[in-house]
Structure 1
């Protein structure tokens, strides 16, 4: 049974590489985290092409959850998502590191895309209550 995969989007390729490395230590082998960081020329920023490529690689029947670091990354993610109108895609509003960790764990437990997104977004509520 396919699991929800995750795309992490950041203005820095080093940030997403670090997140992928961190999450790879705890995720199930059938859950995949795909990076989309930095611009096409290796600078700071985001790239619709990198995000689109990561979504394509992450595609699974269970769906793909997108996480982003800053507001402008969400705009490019939305543009990329429009290129896949028939795909099961969701974008979560959550801290990128905690969100990726929770997404990997929840996906590994066989949760649906909606359930993974809800769990990830609950990290916002946990952070606000501290």
Structure 2
């Protein structure tokens, strides 16, 4: 959150809506390696609409910084409410730029599904994929900004931890 406060307080910061977030990608699709090789981000929610809305808000709040590689894995493949290992795996692969993938879940079975994927041998998730322990909205903003400004996986996870402890009173 400190990184977010610093970026927002910077006098030269211009706030413009970012490019739209990546949609759910086929399992075989891989993200092109970028010049920066940033940490990939996946937002996992029981609802596609919730995941997309949180991604949109997080993107808007990071301002003029180039958006990080981010994908959503919301709902089930048929458009229902729930979680899908297939959609999570596809999303993680689509944002993997070789510096790790931070996977942020909304609750319950989303967490269980990601932990099951991480526990498989070999894991279908990209090497360096880690689950993020943070509230969904605040965590999404923190990890999006930290990845966008070039933070490594440890910095992204630390920003999420900071967001988890941020008090609102």
Output the TM-score relative to the length of structure 1: 0.89
In the alignment, what sits opposite 1:78? 115
The aligned length equals 129
> Which residue number in structure 2 is paired with residue 122 of structure 1?
162
- Could you tell me which runs of 5 or more consecutive residues in structure 2 were left unpaired when the two chains were aligned: 1-35
Summarize the Cα distance change of 1:50–1:121 in structure 2 as closer, same or farther, 3 Å threshold.
Answer: same
More helix by share: 1
Query: What 5-or-longer segments of structure 1 have no aligned partner?
Result: none
| d(CA) in 2 for partners of 1:25, 1:32 | 14
The higher radius of gyration belongs to 2
The more displaced of 33-42 and 20-29 is 20-29
Q: 1:16 aligns with which of 42, 45, 51?
A: 51
Equivalent positions of 1:1-130 (< 5 A) are 1-27=36-62, 28-29=65-66, 31-81=68-118, 82=120, 83-84=123-124, 87-127=127-167, 130=169
2:103–2:131 contact (8 Å) kept in structure 1:
yes
Q: Deviations over 1:47-95 (max 9, x none)?
A: 0000011011011111110000012101111233332476011111111
Structure 1: distance between partners of 2:40 and 2:133:
16
- Contact 1:3 / 1:30 at 8 angstroms: preserved in 2? no
State how far apart, in whole Å, the 1-side matches of 2:95 and 2:103 are.
10
Q: Is the 8 A contact 2:88 2:114 kept in 1?
A: yes
Write the distance in 2 (CA, Å) between the matches of 1:58 and 1:84: 14
TM-score by length of 2: 0.70
In the superposition, relative to structure 1, how do residues 86 and 77 fare at CA in structure 2: closer, same or farther (>3 Å)?
closer
RMSD: 1.8
Which SS does the other structure have where 1:35 is aligned? Answer: strand
